[in-house]
Amino acid sequence: MTKAKAYPLDRSDREFKRLRIQAEALAAESDVMLQRIGVGSGWNCLDIGCGVGGITDLLSARVGPSGHVLGVDLDESSLVAARGWAEGLNLDNVSFQQANVLALDLPAESFDLVHMRYVVTTIRHYEEVIRNAYALVKPGGWLVLEESDSEGLHCYPEHPAWYRLKTLLQDVFDAVGADTRAGRRCWPIMRALGLEGLSFRPCQAGCRSGDDLVDYLPQTIISSRRFVAEHGLMEDAELDRLIADCRAHLADLDTLSTNVTLVQIWGRKPE
């Protein structure tokens, strides 16, 4: 079994909140994709690396009471948060269980749709992760990826603190064996699987001052701060100053920013 290197983000309540804000900001774009795929009543769906909920709520609404959505994640504390959240929303057709995408113990070819968002981004192992997920898709079912391309991170007007933090985010992910530009690297692997109707849809969330997602870049850096120190990428005092400068810039009503590009790639396993 392949062993994942260190996961680049912490698993604190603050990080869980960041994931929830991110999921809400991306929900409309993920749902457009599910609509295009035609996810419907009675489907059996799997969200691998669902974290504190992932897109299980969107899938739940589409598959209805005759369908089922399973969310799996390596991390039990994330699943505890996911279960509490799903209960609060009365998602009766959703369940969660612990699983490692690098050593999956789920029945082969049993899901109508298998989805991952920001999983390859955080653990790499591109080929193995994608092939393991593919093995669970029924013939005629869908394999669906949403991964990151950090080149999409921009702010207007440009500000040096923003761009230093962007580079730092890319460097810290590289240092732990993750990849903020995983989206583009997944395409040839998805193509090689011979999926039918292979689709590519890059999309992006944008923020103004005061939007929930506006603190994405400082927050993500804070969640990977332990590894910034461990790999000697930046001194604490400089990091604190950059985060404060970046936040002050983002708080300006004239500042706009764009998030990492959400690279959506999906296709159907031949019958």
Ligand X SMILES: C[S@@+](CC[C@H](N)C(=O)[O-])C[C@H]1O[C@@H](n2cnc3c(N)ncnc32)[C@H](O)[C@@H]1O
Site for ligand X contains 219 (CB under 6 A): no
Site for ligand X contains 18 (CB under 6 A): no
Task: Give 44 or 121: the residue with its C-beta nearer to ligand X.
Answer: 121
Residue pair 37/142 in contact (Cβ under 8 Å)? The answer is: yes
Rg (CA), the chain: 18
Among 63, 69, 74, 175, binds ligand X (CB under 6 A): 74
Q: How far is CA 34 from CA 39, 80, 97, 114, 145, in A?
A: 6, 26, 23, 12, 11
Site for ligand X contains 58 (CB under 6 A): no
Task: Give 50 or 168: the residue with its C-beta nearer to ligand X.
Answer: 50
Segment contacting ligand X by CB under 6 A, of 95-103, 149-157, 167-175, 242-250: 95-103
Q: Please, what is the minimum distance in Å from the beta carbon of residue 77 to ligand X?
A: 9
Segment contacting ligand X by CB under 6 A, of 35-43, 68-76, 189-197, 236-244: 68-76
Site for ligand X contains 51 (CB under 6 A): yes
Binding mask 116-155 for ligand X (x = CB under 6 A): -xxx--xx--------------------------------
User: Max Cα separation, the chain?
Assistant: 57
Q: Please, what is the minimum distance in Å from the beta carbon of residue 213 to ligand X?
A: 13
CA distance 157 to 33: 31
Task: Give 17 or 154: the residue with its C-beta nearer to ligand X.
Answer: 17
Site for ligand X contains 75 (CB under 6 A): yes
Interacting residues toward ligand X by CB under 6 A: 4, 7, 19, 23, 49-51, 54, 73-75, 78, 100-102, 117-119, 122-123
